[in-house]
Each structure stands twice: as structure tokens, then as C-alpha cells.
Chain A
Amino acid sequence: MSLALSSGTRIRRFDPSLVPLALAGLFLAMLVLLPLGWLLAYTLSDEAGRPSWTNLMQLADPSLFWEPFVTTFGIALGVAALACAIAVPLAWLVARTDVPGRRLLRGLVMVSFITPPFIGAVAWVLLAAPNSGLLNQYYRWITGAGAFDSLFNIFSTTGIIFVMGSYAFPYVFVLVANTLDRLPYDLEEASAILGGGRWHTFRRVTLPMVLPALLAGFLIAFLQAMTQFGTPAILALPAGFHVLTTKIWSLFQFPPKTHLAAACAMPLLLVTILLLRAEKLLLGRRGYTMVGGKSGTPRLTPLGLWRWPALLLALFILFSTVLLPNLVLIRSSMLRSIADPWTWQTITWANVPLVFGLTNTLDALRNTLVTGVAAATLGSVFAVLIAYLTARKAVPGHQVLGFLATAPVAIPGIVLGVALFIAYTRPPFQLYGTLWILLLAFLTIEMPPAYQQMQAAFRGLNPELEEASRILGAGRLTSLAKVVAPLLKTSVAATWCFIFIGAIRELSATILLTTSQTKLVSVLIYDLNESGALGGIAVLGLVLMAVTAVVVVIANRVANVGVVTQGR
């Protein structure tokens, strides 16, 4: 500063608003690097703090690491494949055909998006537990099968794949549908004019253009399945096997084996980084830019008589993955025992006082809302700042910022949980036991998608407008707030909702980071599940989803724009 003051020319060039921007960058660096540094340090040291390889050597133990790892990998592949199998036909129907009710179909996909997967897992226990599950009861009633025969068993690998796939497909859907929405139809037309048949056009023109989105979706679904805690904890443990995340969690049982947990987390981190590299390599060769942008009105494929069967198929898919679990939650929330039939005599409100009689419940709801809203707001601000810095190359080292903002995508939630637990249970930052540590977790986990969304938005914004503002004397921050932000409010609102929903859905990091005083609804639901209070979970799950929906609607009203999809 003193240097700047001493020279008249520098004083005009130095923009004081660079200071908070640079601070934001530093904060981001700390957010990512501090926990990862501790994670590495713990992996490579023993309980006494001496350097040691023993933690990594123990990974050779099949029951500790290899068996859960192989199981996890298989499940994740299955989930990714299933999510694509559900999402791609739906996206095509909704984006490229004249199937009736396209808005409704998109809306139903969004219901799945706001449903936390662990609530879905409990709902599927109610539906498809081998004996008490409703679907199996109906099956026995219809076919007259024996008392212990069952059609579905949700406590199985296939059960887990199905449930995770049901809640991962919206990510694939949004990516593929948005790509299909923006597809330059004239290219397909050109192919047709040049004599390419439908199949040929699809294979040589449409597919290559959709492939990057599909691959990205496959990868997101895979990573989600590999790193999720709630669903396997609810479905795999009863079946008697571990996935990697539940294994890592079990290492925190008393006496906690934090060093070993850190070592177990390393392979998850590595696999994630490798997969993201692989995606880059694959897509690197297929960098199709859709020249010319959106060309003309989208031409929809007429389905003719097939319109109605197609609609039925889409509705069936969405009914079984989205509506059915929510219906069974409503049913169970009003029954004392889930085995009761639904009659006037058995309907009860007993679950409501049971759940809200816990002092925890209201606190947990408040904590969830406070951390969710704070993370969404701070996260959006950060995403805007960082995206601005990188898009406008405003500070030296902006490439590093971009990398740091994307890096957490490679950190699975449970790994981050372990890392944050180590980093913030000691001086100088003793945050365990406060809501701050949860806020940090949400910010870190949600930064990559938020940043990428905002970066894409900045790319579509001509810098002329900001330049005009700055020529008229405004600093960077003022131009950002007064000129850029209003222009970007659609994207900001979408980013906000994305972070908020992400925070509500999160259970893998939070399970390690909450205390009794800082409980979140997600963790409370997990606790209730361990006590077998399924009716209580149904009540709490429905409340959580209703609150989420209301917040998302309000956020969009405030921004006066459409829903998260940004689609039509």
C-alpha cells in the first residue's frame, strides 16, 4: 500500500476491490488444501504421529479394504449404467419428440432430484423388503405364493443399484436433455439430405454430439454411487456386507482408527481423480462445439400413434422411481406399525408427536435450513467471484483458482468428512461441534458444480458491459454487483438451488461431522433408521422434502426465474 501511495500513477491502477477478491481466492485455497494436507499426513503416520507405512500396508487385508472396494466398484458401475438407461430415453422423449405432458415429465424428474437418496432407501425398504414390503405383499396376494416367497429383495446388491440409480438418473437426465434441447437440428437435416438414413444420422451425427453429456452423466452417477453413504448403510449392512464408505464409517467406532480411515479414503480419492482424467482424455478427442448455436425452432420427432404408449412408458418409469416411494412414505407416516393395513382404525398421528417430541427434531430442521441457506448463499457468492476472476483473468494465478474450485469434485464426501474432522478438531481451527464445520463441508463439496455453472454463465456474457461500467469509474466489485449480477440472476438462482439441494441430500460427510448439538435432519433420519423407527422417518422425510420444495420455489420467485433445470 505504501508503495502505491508514493506513486501517483499506481494509485489509479490499483483497484481496492481486488483485495476481497484475492481474499476469496486465499480462502478457497485453504478450504481445499488444509483438509487434504491433514488427510495425507494422517495416512502416512501412526497413532503416535511418527511417519509410517503401516496404514497403507493394512489395506492389503481383504475384509478391511479389497472386498468392500470391489463391491463398491461393481455397484457404482451398475448404478451408472442404470441411470443412463433410465435417463436417456426419457430425455429423448421429453426433448426431441411430441410426447404429451413433457412439462409434467420434467417436473417429476425434479421431484426425484430433491429427494435425498437415504429417504428413498427407507421408502424402498417399506416397498420391497422381502416379507413386509408392500410390493411383495401384493405379489403374494395376487399370485397366492407362500408366506415367505418374495418378488423383490431390496437388501441386496441389485436392490442397492436400483435405489441409487433411481436417485442418480436426474443428473444424467438434466445433462442429456439440455444437450438435446440445444442440438443444432440443421446438422441432422444436412445428414438426411445427403442421403443418411435415420439410423445412420443418429449414429454419425446425433450420438457424437450427445456423447460428451452422456459420458459426463455416466461419470457423475458412478461417482455418486461410489461415494454415497446413506443408501448402502440402510440397505447393505442389513444384508451383511460393507461398501467402502460404510467401512470407513465403521472405523470411527470406538476406539476410532482415524489414521486407518484416512488410508482407506486415499484409494477413493485416487479412483476419482483417475476417472476424471479419463473423461478428459476421452472427451479431448471429441470436443464438438455446436457451431452456430441454436438453429431455428426445434423440430420434434412425431411419434404418431406411439405418442400414448411412449407417455405411458415414461410415466411408468417415473411412477416407479419417483412417485411410488413418496406414496409409501405418506402411507407409513400415518401408521403406528408399517405392518398395519390402511384403515380408519389404524390411521394415526402418533408418528408426528414421536418425531417432534424429540427436542432434536426442531433443532435439526433449523440447523439444516441455516447451514443449507448459508452454504447456498456464500457458495453462490464465491462461485460468482471465482468464476469472474477466472473468466476475466482478473488476478495473477487465476488458473490455480479455477483448478482449486474444481478439485473438490475428486474428494468423496466421506473422505472430506474424515479430512475435515482431522483438520478442525485441533488448534488453530477448533470447529468440530459447531455448525461452521458443516458449512465448510457443504461449501467444499458443492463448489465444483457451482463454479462450473457460473463459469459457463460468464462465458456467455460479453465483457463490454462491465468495461463500460468500469470506464465510468466503478471498481470491479461494484461492476460485479451492479452490472454483472443482475444479468446473471437466472444462473445465480440455479446455482443457489443446486447448492441448497446438495446440502439437504448430503449424508456422507455430515455423518462424521455432526454432534448432538449440531444435528442435521439427514443424520437424525439415519439415527431413527438405526432404531427402526420407520414411521418417524416417513414423517421427517416428507417434512424435509416439503421444506426443500418451498425454499426452492421461494428462491426462484426471488430471482423471478424458472426452475433449476434451466430447461424449458
Chain B
Amino acid sequence: MGMKRRSLLAAAAGLAFAGAARAARPEPQALTPALVDAAKKEGKVAWYTADDLVLATRVSKAFEAKYGLTVQLERSGAERIYQRIAQEYASNISAVDVATTSDVGHTVSWNANDWLQPFIPAEVAQWPDHAIGSDGLYIVDKFTMVTPGYNSRLVKADDAPKSWNDLLDPKWKGKLVKAHPGYSGAITNATLALSRTLGWEFFEKLAKQGVLQVQSATDPPMRTAQGERAVMADGAENTSLRLVGEGAPLVLIYPPEGVPAVAVGSVLMKKAPNPNAARLFMHYLVSQECQDLNVANGARSFNPGVKEPANWVPLGRIKLLFNEPGDLARQAEAVKQQYSKIFGV
């Protein structure tokens, strides 16, 4: 499995997340006792993250327990975090140390504003190359997908949708829940990928199904597990897998048309108020401990040493749809506007 999975990952990601420009890439940095000491003197790290709230809380707690620093956790949707950082920087407030986004297109414009400090923790040097963003501007410390799914108490497996287009069946009218690209980076990824694969007609028809429009990609799995809606039109795979692990009656669908992949990238800010704590935290995000924590909470990992639970659908059986960071950066705005026009909010 080990070799096979590694090569699959490499093949998958090769198409994908990383623009391969290696030229300006900085040297990987080792985690030194001096860094830990300097970080401890700063005492805290401000982490703005689009991760699942439960996962982000667990990662923060584990980091605090390990190093005795406080994590100031700001959890919101990737697109909201993007907005918040822009708003804060425009007012000369530099509060954020490390930002984690599920729309790596953000790294392009952050870099254009010269807000990023390229940084590669030594741990990542063992990973496939694609885990490192172009020029070492960001680290793909986890990745996930956007999938449909259904509540197995409300829908029989035979009746369940199998593909994206099955969601357009009139029998699902009023029974769908869906997240929003204006809030969620994962859904921005998915909307861009699916609008290319299926065309905007897919979304126009979906809008006529009367979806319950929530914000975060982590919300549809919860609403579906609660039985508020029978089927989720899109949801974060990581939250879904976490809920399934906790026994929620949730079944995921990996449509044959393709499943949008979501690279979750973390960046070190150039104006980080706690530069050492920020670097230590970047090291922690890719540490074995944190990677195990990610997988225990449903997120997939590039780290070849991490084992996925047996009940997960292996990557090799999923047709993944990728977005280039540059495409995301260029098209996200238009995608969100088109979406709002179609769905009304």
C-alpha cells in the first residue's frame, strides 16, 4: 500500500496544487531548541484558519499542551479570512501570524502584496514535492475534497444520488443543503471546478431545487447528519469523515464526473507579530503529531508516513478535479458573483 499510495498521491498532486517553480525556493529550516525558546518568549501565536472548527480547536490545544504557548484561534471561512486580513492590513493592523486557507489562490494575491514570508519546515522536505507551494510561499499541510452525501436514516442506498447530475432529480427538491463560495474556500474550489466540468447550467438547475443555503463547507455534513436535510449538495469531506467516525448516519458520494480537490495551505506572514512562535507553529502543523491529528479528524495528508483509516475511500478510486492557484486567484471573484446571481444570496 505504502509505495502505491505514495505514487498515487504524487500522480494526483502533480497535476494539482503546486505550481512547480522551484527556482526561488528557500532552504528547509530545521526545528531548533533556539526557535522553541524564542517562541516561548513571545508566548502566543495568532492563527487565522479555515479548518473545521473542531479540528482547529484540537490542533490549538495540542500545540498549547506541547509548547506552553497560547494559540489565538480565529476560525472562519477562507473567503472571510481573506477579507478580514485585507481589512486589517488596510488599517495598518498586523495581528495575524499564520493563516490557513482552503483557497490557495489567496496566496497569489498575498504574495503580490508582499505579505508572505517564504518558509519551509524541514519535516516537509520528506513529503512529495507538491506539498510545497511555489517559491515556498505556502505549505499544503492537509487536503480534502468537496463531495455530496446523504443521511442514511432518511435515504435508502438504492434511492441515493450517485452523481452530481442526480442531485437535479425533482425528488430532491427542498431536501438539499449547500454551502456558499462567498464564505468557504473549499466551495470556491468546488464551484470553479464544477462550473468547468458540468457548466453553469448545473448550478442554475440546482438553484431551482430550493437548497438550504448555509455558509461553511463544514456545515452541510452537520445539517445532513442532524436530518435537517436528507442530502447535501456539497460538503467538506474532512468534516464528513470526522462525523462518520463519531457514528453519524452520513454516507459520502464520490461522483464519477469528478470530485473537486481542496488544497489547504498555511502561510507565514511577513509582518507576523510573533515571528518565532509563528515559525514554531508552522513546524507543528506538519509534525507527525499534528498530521495524525488531522487524519483522526478526517483530513487527508501528504505525509507518506500517515496511515488513512481503512473505511475511507482510497484516493486511487476517486477522480479528482484540480484547480491551479493562479486560476483560483484570477477567477474566484467572478465565480462568487455568478454564484450569487444564480442563488440570490
Total A-B Cβ pairs within 8 A: 134
Instruction: Verify if A7 is at the interface (C-beta below 8 Å from B).
Output: no
**Tally of B interface residues using CB under 8 Å:** 60
Contact of A516 among B48, B61, B77, B223 (CB under 8 A): B48
Instruction: Verify if A336 is at the interface (C-beta below 8 Å from B).
Output: yes
Given contacts A147-B154, A533-B53, whether A425 and B215 have CB atoms under 8 Å apart is: no
Residue in B closest to A237 when the chains form the complex, CB atoms = B345
Query: In the complex the two chains form, is A360's CB within 8 Å of B222's CB?
Result: no
Query: In the complex the two chains form, is A516's CB within 8 Å of B154's CB?
Result: no
Contact of B88 among A129, A131, A339, A433 (CB under 8 A): A433
Contact of A254 among B82, B210, B215, B344 (CB under 8 A): B82
Given contacts A148-B175, A240-B343, whether A131 and B227 have CB atoms under 8 Å apart is: yes
Instruction: Verify if A357 is at the interface (C-beta below 8 Å from B).
Output: yes
Query: In the complex the two chains form, is A238's CB within 8 Å of B227's CB?
Result: no
Given contacts A339-B225, A532-B214, whether A357 and B95 have CB atoms under 8 Å apart is: no
Contact of A131 among B72, B211, B219, B229 (CB under 8 A): B229
Given contacts A131-B228, A148-B230, whether A240 and B75 have CB atoms under 8 Å apart is: no
Interface residues on A, range: 35 or more
Collect the chain A residues with CB atoms within 8 Å of residue B345's CB: 236-237, 240-242, 246, 250
Instruction: Verify if A16 is at the interface (C-beta below 8 Å from B).
Output: no
Query: In the complex the two chains form, is B88's CB within 8 Å of A240's CB?
Result: no
Contact of B216 among A236, A254, A531 (CB under 8 A): A531
From DSSP, what is the main secondary structure of chain A's interface residues? loop
For window 104-154 of B, CB contacts with A under 8 Å fall at 154
Collect the chain B residues with CB atoms within 8 Å of residue A432's CB: 91, 93
Collect the chain A residues with CB atoms within 8 Å of residue B82's CB: 254
Residue in A closest to B72 when the chains form the complex, CB atoms = A359
For window 257-308 of A, CB contacts with B under 8 Å fall at none
Collect the chain B residues with CB atoms within 8 Å of residue A467's CB: none
Contact of B218 among A358, A360, A531 (CB under 8 A): A531
Contact of B75 among A241, A242, A358 (CB under 8 A): A358
Given contacts A63-B341, A358-B75, A532-B214, whether A433 and B91 have CB atoms under 8 Å apart is: yes
Instruction: Verify if A430 is at the interface (C-beta below 8 Å from B).
Output: yes
Instruction: Verify if A100 is at the interface (C-beta below 8 Å from B).
Output: no
Collect the chain A residues with CB atoms within 8 Å of residue B226's CB: 132, 337-339
Instruction: Verify if B183 is at the interface (C-beta below 8 Å from A).
Output: yes
Instruction: Verify if A256 is at the interface (C-beta below 8 Å from B).
Output: yes
Query: In the complex the two chains form, is A515's CB within 8 Å of B225's CB?
Result: no
Q: How far is the CB of B178 from chain A (nearest CB, A)?
A: 10
For window 213-263 of A, CB contacts with B under 8 Å fall at 236-242, 246, 250, 252-256
Q: How far is the CB of B342 from chain A (nearest CB, A)?
A: 10
Listed in ascending order, the chain B residues whose CB lies under 8 Å from chain A are 46, 48, 53-54, 57, 60-61, 70-77, 79-80, 82-84, 86-88, 90-93, 95-96, 154, 174-175, 182-183, 210-216, 218-219, 222-223, 225-230, 246, 248, 333, 336, 340-341, 343-345
Nearest first, the 4 A-B pairs at minimum CB distance are A532-B219, A132-B228, A339-B226, A254-B83
